[in-house]
Amino acid sequence: METTHSIWGVEDNEVLKPMNLNNTNIINSILFESSSDDEDGTYPLVMHYTNLINKIDSEGTNAWLNRLVSKSRRIDFLNIDYGICEIIRESKYANNAIIKFKNPIKIQIELIGETPVIIEVSEISGQFIHEYYWTRKGRQNKVANGFEIWFNIKKYLK
């Protein structure tokens, strides 16, 4: 049985196994985004990456969430289509959200002995958080060279 801790593995019908990392805010979490300043196609200029990192640093993870909304739908920041799921928030500045999957997904919630306990869910609630990381190969040294967006699962709803 293949397990994954990222939202992209769920697309390939892998069982989602939320991640716990010591000494971080990543507790029972799913990886949504991992991005770094050396991605030429995503950030043609270092300035584009630096602006985003500064915005995330000052406004929080909702700055990344608001970027997901297409320019034609700027009115609706609360319901974001993210491919296999929909992200529903209470306000434009909220990091708390409900994620509704278009098809139920399998999540490993614990182990009993060596046997995984797997449930099927179509909705989870929680909070988006971000973590920074530094690398030696970055294109600049003024801000973190990369960031990750995680979703901390608080409840399995349906």
Q: State the pLDDT confidence band at 39, using cuts at 50, 70 and 90.
A: confident
pLDDT in tens, 53-105: 899 999 999 889 888 886 555 567 788 888 889 999 988 888 999 999 999 99
According to the model, what pLDDT value does residue 72 have?
Answer: 54
Locate tokens 């009115």: which residue?
75
Q: 3-state SS string over the chain?
A: CCEECEHHHHHCCCEECCECCCCCCCCCEEEEEEEECCCCCCCCCHHHHHHHHHHHHHHCCHHHHHHCCCHHHCCCCCEEECCCEEEECCCCCCCEEEEEEEEEEEEEEEEECCEEEEEEEEEEEEEEEEEEECCCCCCCCCCCCEEEEEEEEEEECC
pLDDT in tens, 108-133: 988 899 898 999 999 999 999 999 98
- How far is residue 100's CA from residue 87's CA, in Å, rounded to a whole number? 7
Locate tokens 């990091």: which residue?
95
Share of the chain above pLDDT 90, in %: 34
Share of the chain above pLDDT 70, in %: 94
- Structural domain total, the chain: 1
pTM above 0.85, yes or no: yes
Cα separations in angstroms, 157 against 20, 123, 126, 154: 20, 5, 10, 9
According to the model, what pLDDT value does residue 20 have?
Answer: 85
pLDDT at 8 over 90: no
What is the span of the domain harbouring residue 66?
A: 3-156
